[in-house]
Chains A and B, each alone.
Chain A
Amino acid sequence: MSVRRLAPPEVQPAEFVFTPENAAWASQQIAKYPEGRQASAVIPLLWRAQAQAGGWLPQRAIEHVAGILGMNYIRVLEIATFYTMFALEPVGRFFVQLCGTTHCMVCGAHDLREALRGFVGPERTVSADGNFSWLEVECLGACCNAPMVQINDDYYEDLTPEILINLLKDLAAGRPVKPGPQQGRHAAEPAGGKLTSLTDPSLYDGSVVGAWRARFAQKD
Chain B
Amino acid sequence: MPKLIVDGKEIEVPPEYTILQACEAAGAEIPRFCYHERLSIAGNCRMCLVEVQGGPPKPVASCAMGVRDLRPGPNGEPPVVFTKSPMVKKAREGVMEFLLVNHPLDCPICDQGGECDLQDQAMAYGVDSSRFHENKRAVEDKYIGPLVRTSMNRCIHCTRCVRFTNEVAGVGDLGAIGRGEDMEITTYLEHAMGSELQGNVIDLCPVGALTSKPYAFKARPWELIKTESVDVMDAAGSAIRIDTRGREVMRILPVVNEDVNEEWISDKTRFIWDGLKTQRLDRPYVREDGRLRPASWSEAFALIAEKVKATQPSRIGAIAGDLNAVEEIFALRQLMQALGSPNLDCRQDGTQLNPAFGRGSYLFNATIAGVEDADAVLLIGSNPRREAPVLNARIRKRWLAGNLPVAYVGEAMDLTYRAEQLGAGAQTLVDLANGAHGFVEVLRQAQRPLIIIGQGALARADGAAVLAAATRLAVDVGAVGDDWNGLSILHTAAARVGALDVGFFPAGGGLTAQQMAAAGALDVVYLLGADEIEIAPGAFVIYQGSHGDSGAHRADVILPGAAYPEKSGTYLNTEGRVQVADRASFPPGDAREDWAIIRALSDVLGHRLGYDNLGALREALVTEVPHMADRNQIAAGALELPAIAAAIAQMGPAPFASPIVDFYLTNPIARASAVMAECSALARGAVAQAAE
Contact = CB atoms under 8 A, between A and B. Distances in A.
Interface of A: 1-4, 6, 59, 72-75, 77-78, 81-82
Interface stretch (B16-24, B171-179, B227-235, B247-255): B171-179
B187 interface: yes
Contact of B176 (A1, A59, A73, A78): A78
Contact of A74 (B174, B178, B179, B181): B174
Given A74-B186, A82-B178, 14 more contacts: A1-B180, A1-B181, A2-B182, A4-B178, A59-B189, A72-B172, A72-B173, A74-B172, A74-B174, A74-B188, A75-B172, A77-B175, A78-B175, A82-B179
A2 B177 CA distance: 12
A73 B188 contact: yes
B184 interface: yes
Contact of A72 (B177, B182, B188): B188
Given A72-B173, A74-B174, A78-B176, A1 B188 contact: no
Interface in B154-209: 172-182, 184, 186-189
Interface of B: 172-182, 184, 186-189
Contacts of A75: 172, 175
Contacts of A78: 175-177
Nearest to B179: A82
A6 B175 contact: no
A184 B11 CA distance: 69
A72 B174 CA distance: 10
A57 B178 CA distance: 15
Given A1-B182, A72-B172, A81 B177 contact: yes
A86 to B, nearest CB: 12
Contact of A3 (B176, B178, B187, B189): B178
Q: Is the interface of A mostly helix, strand, loop or mixed?
A: helix
Nearest to A80: B177
B69 to A, nearest CB: 26
8 contacts: A1-B179, A1-B180, A4-B177, A72-B172, A72-B188, A74-B175, A74-B186, A78-B176
Contacts of A74: 172-175, 177, 186-188
A4 B184 CA distance: 10
Nearest to A81: B177
Please list the 10 inter-chain residue pairs (A to B) with the smallest Cβ-Cβ separation, ordered nearest first: A74-B175, A72-B172, A81-B177, A73-B188, A74-B188, A78-B175, A82-B179, A3-B182, A81-B178, A78-B177
Contacts of B176: 78
Contacts of B173: 72, 74
Contacts of A73: 188-189
Given A73-B188, A77-B188, A4 B175 contact: no
Contacts of B186: 74
Contact of A6 (B179, B184, B189): B189
Contacts of B187: 74
A1 to B, nearest CB: 6
Nearest to B186: A74
Q: Which of A1, A74, A75 has the most CB of B within 10 A?
A: A74
A91 to B, nearest CB: 19
Contacts of A82: 177-179
Contacts of A3: 178, 182, 184
A75 to B, nearest CB: 6
A78 B178 CA distance: 7
A161 to B, nearest CB: 31
Contacts of A4: 177-178, 182
A81 B180 CA distance: 11
